[in-house]
Structures are given as C-alpha cells and as structure tokens.
Structure 1
Amino acid sequence: MGVSRRGFVGVHVGLGGLGLLELGAVLGVAAVFLWVYVWLMTGSGMLPGIDGPYYAAQVLSIDRYGVLRHPDPLLVFYVMYFFYVLLGDLFRAVAVGASVLLVLASVLVSLFVRGMTASGLAGLAAMIVFLAPPFELRLIGDFLKNAAGLVWVAALLLVSYMALRGGGRRSRLRFFVASLAVFVGGGLTHILDYGFMLVLVFALFLLQLVFDRGNIFYEGVVAAVLSLALFYAFPGLQGGDLFKAMGFVEEAFASFDAAPGPVGPQPGVPAAAPLLPRILVSLNLLSIVLLFAEGLLSGSREARYVLAALALALALLVLPV
C-alpha cells in the first residue's frame, strides 16, 4: 500500500494503514525489546553505564526541587520523572524512560521504511534491525540520553520523507510545524543527536539544491535555523551544550592548523590498530556506501534524497577529526 500524498506522519503513513496483524506484530516487537532493554538495565539492581546514577540524581532533584540539579538538556529527565511518578521506582523509571523513547524511535523507523517500500514486512524487519544490534545495546547501556535522542532522528527522517512526498500549502505548513517540533525536541534531548539532525537536514538541502531544486525541503532548513536561534537565545534550555559544541568544533578545526606530530611508530604505541576495531569501522563504511547506493538506485525520488543525505551525515561520524 502506497503512502498518501496528503497524509501526515503517524496517521496516513503508518498506523492508519496497518492491518490488525501488522499492527500486532509492530506492538509485539516493541513490547519484547522494551522488556529486554529494561531487564538488561535493571537486572543487576544497579543503574548501568558511565553515568547511570547521574540520571537518578537529576530525577530526584526534579521531584524534590522542581529543577535539574546540574544544567543539561532537560527533556529526557522529565520523561524519566514521569515514569518515576507512575512506577514509584527510581531505577526502573530511568531504565523505562530511556527504553520507551528508543523503542518509539524503532517504530518511526519502521514507518519510514514501510512508506518507502510499501511493505509491512520490510518495515518490521527495519524495526528489528534497528533494535537488535550490539551497538544499540551498548548505546542504551552507557549513553542513555544519546540513545533516547534517536527518536528525534527517526522522526526527522519520517517527516522529511513525507514532506517531500508533496501536498498543498496547508500540508507544507504542518510539515514545518512538525519539523520545528522535532528539532526542538532533539535539542532538548541531546546535543549530539541534535547536531546530527542539523547535518542531515543540510545534507538533504545541498543534495536537492544540486539535483532537485523543484522540491527542496525548505521547511526543514527553516525549522533547523529557528531552533538554532532559539537555543542560542536561551542556552539554559540545553544546559549550555550548544556553546560547548561550538567550542568543540572550533578546537577540531584548530587542530588542523597545529604542528604535525611525529611520523611513524612511537615507543609504547602499537604500529596499527587492533584487527577487530578495524573490521568494525570497515563494516560501518561499507554499510554507509550501501545506504548511499540504495538511495541513488531507489525508484522513489523522495527516498533517494533522504537516504543519500542520511549516508552523507553518517559518513561524517566515522571520519577522523
């Protein structure tokens, strides 16, 4: 079943067109992985990851004082606080809050792939592939906010694709509002997810500027710029993370002007990286190349540009800085 050109995110694209069997399969996969994630994160009786207790402390601060104890993008902590009020268990609330957002991201990925392929099976497979890899388990186990922020990345993919499918002036206005909400949500969740979203939408803009000027996703670009202006004007919403990110970028570019270090193997430094990490990086690069090729070969013009932009944005993640 194709995607309605008049449809809007969760109504006509996916859930409204799902049969009972397909809807049951999506909800079943979501429930299974939600249980697995929460079990892995709470099975030891301790919060996992590098800064698990930090999330608990922030939730307790909201409960007792109504504000975060430490400046940070606030959205995930308030989601966790909601589950703390609902469940009455602090550790489980932290795990459930992050896991629910990550599983919701997988549902959006499923709708995105389903819309491109007109195949419910492909959408379900994409959902499982998104949730099952060890990298995802590693992410949710150590970097809870980063993992939770993927829901906004997935939402941006879906909104971008739907906006490019067309619609009248009212539809474009709705897609602009949706894009702005997605960028604000991403910025209020994690600066790295937000930064990736900015790269993604501008990569899409550049690709369309070169190859498809008649259908540029202006709504996304304007929404991205407005969200940047919002967080620049009110840095407290992100705990000052935007300025930290700007400082990191400045340092990264400054490193290119620094004097080069010694060339060749140094005492106490391995001559080459271990084999396994090199294999994993190579597989990452291969997957990005395949994603880019899929975008170029896709029969859908909208899917072609969104997938190609996603591949370009992902390529930046594996380039050495």
Structure 2
Amino acid sequence: MLAILLRYPIMYGIDGPYYLHQMRHLLAEGMLKYPDPPLTYYMLAPFYSFFPDKNIGLKVAVAFYGGLTSLILFTAFRRFCDLSGLTASLTFALSPFTLRLAEDFIKNYVSLIFLSTFIYILLNVRDRKRAAIYSSIIAIASALSHVLTFGVLALFSLLILFLSLIRRSDDLVVRYASASAAITSMMILMISLFIFPQITGYDSFKLLSFLNQPFVR
C-alpha cells in the first residue's frame, strides 16, 4: 500500500489537499478549519507531525491504518481457519474499492478500522459484557470518524440483531454486541440531529441525504 501511495510526491484526488489543509489548521489552531467528524484527523496527527514532508506523513498514516485493518480482519476470520483469515485480509488490501478510498477518501478508508474491529468482536469476543461495551465504543468511534462508516455499522448491527432474534440464536454474545452497537448508534444519531450536531461535524444530515438518495430521481 505504501509503495502505491508514494508513487508521486503530491496528495491524490480532489480531497487530498483538503486533508492537508485540515491537518495544518488542527495543529496550528487546535481545531479543524471546516466542520468534520474529528477522530480521523487526530489519528492522522502523529504521522503528520513526525514527518517533515506532510504529504509523506499522511500517506504513511493511511498505509499504517490500512495494514492494521487488514491484520484485524485476518485475526477475526482466522477463527474459522488460516485461509479464511488470509482471504479476508487480502480482499480488503487488494480490493480496487478500498484502494480508491486510500488514494483519495482518506477518512473513509481509515475509519474502516472500526467496522473491522466490530466484526472481530462479533466473531471472537466471548464475554457478553465486554462485547457490549466494546461494540458501544466502536459505534461512538465510527460516528466521530466518518458518516458513511457510521451508517454502515449502524445498519449492519441492526441486521445482525434482527437475524439473531428471528433465528433465535443461542449466541448471546452476538446479540449483546449487535444490540449495543445499534442502540448506541441510534442514540448518537438522535443527539447529532436534534441536540448537538457538532459531535459528528454536522455529517448526520449528510447521512440522511445518502439514505434518501436512492429513492430520489
């Protein structure tokens, strides 16, 4: 991934310079220049600060979090067998869709680490209380990182909870984890829509427009 990102010295795509501008303002003023979910920028900040070339710093950060996400997916699906873990990891790392995100839509790409961690919790954490707590934290982190990741995690957790209930699954860990993530996501959505929209950088309204878009000609 890093070799791909370092092919050229500049940031890629339309959004590339936007991240540089946001990071520069965050470190200089202590806040983002434009409203945005803040967590991803704080995750990028150590790399941006460490490297003299800020373009390289952001690219190393993207490669680092991409590699970590691949590792989490490998560990999650290794529960079934090593081949399953390797397949999940390589599918993420080599998918043209995730490569596209890594080159331009950095927030989207980095925030996928939270979705992969939620999958890890569902498959590997066996304590119900810990699974519920971890899932709630992941839901909060996804809301503070990117609206689409937050939306996908909310819908995914609702789907898993629904399937668990209608199938009357005996796996209470999955039920607790999915319920915790779903409830936390709904609470965050309501708070960000009606009380404190700043917590998601006003992106919750964007999420509703994304959900409505397929039904609008």
Fold in common (TM above 0.5) = yes
1:137 aligns with 2:137: no
* Residue of structure 1 equivalent to 2:148: 192
- Paired amino acid for 1:224: A
Task: Name the structure 2 match of 1:222.
Answer: 180
Q: Identify the match of residue 18 of structure 2 among 54, 57, 82.
A: 54
Q: What's the secondary structure of 1:47's corresponding residue?
A: coil
Residue in 1 aligned with 2:33?
Answer: 69
What corresponds to 1:174 in structure 2?
130
AA in 1 matched with 2:142: G
AA paired with 2:10? M
Q: CA RMSD in A?
A: 2.0
Q: CA deviation at 1:178?
A: 0.6
Query: Aligned residues: percent identity?
Result: 27
Q: Is 1:183 the equivalent of 2:129?
A: no
The separation in 1 between residues aligned to 2:64 and 2:140, in whole angstroms, is 19
**Counterpart selection for 1:201 from 157, 163, 179:** 157
- Contact kept, 8 Å, 1:98 with 1:145, in 2: the verdict is no
SS at match of 1:78: helix
Which residues of structure 1 form unaligned runs of 5+?
A: 1-36, 259-321
What is aligned with 2:112? 150
Amino acid at match of 2:184: L
Instruction: Provide structure 2 residue ranges, at least 5 long, that are not aligned to the other structure.
Output: none
Letter in 1 for 2:14: I
Aligned match of 1:124: 86
Task: Verify the 8 A CA contact 1:76 1:98 in the aligned structure 2.
Answer: no
Asked whether the equivalents of residues 59 and 81 of structure 1 are also in contact (C-alpha less than 8 Å), the reply is yes
Q: TM-score with structure 1 length normalisation?
A: 0.61
Q: AA paired with 1:112? A: A
In structure 2, how many angstroms separate the alpha carbons of the residues matched to 1:180 and 1:85?
Answer: 30
Higher relative contact order (CA 8 A, sep 6+): 2
After TM superposition, the score normalised by the length of structure 2 is 0.87
1:1-42 deviations in Å (ceiling 9; x for gaps): xxxxxxxxxxxxxxxxxxxxxxxxxxxxxxxxxxxx233223
Partner of 2:123: 161
Q: Deviation of residue 196 (structure 1)?
A: 0.8
What CA distance in whole angstroms lies between the structure 2 residues aligned with 1:86 and 1:206? 45
Question: Separation in 2 of the partners of 1:130 and 1:248?
Answer: 23
CA distance in 2, matches of 1:139, 1:88: 24
| Paired residues, number | 211
1:150 CA displacement = 1.3
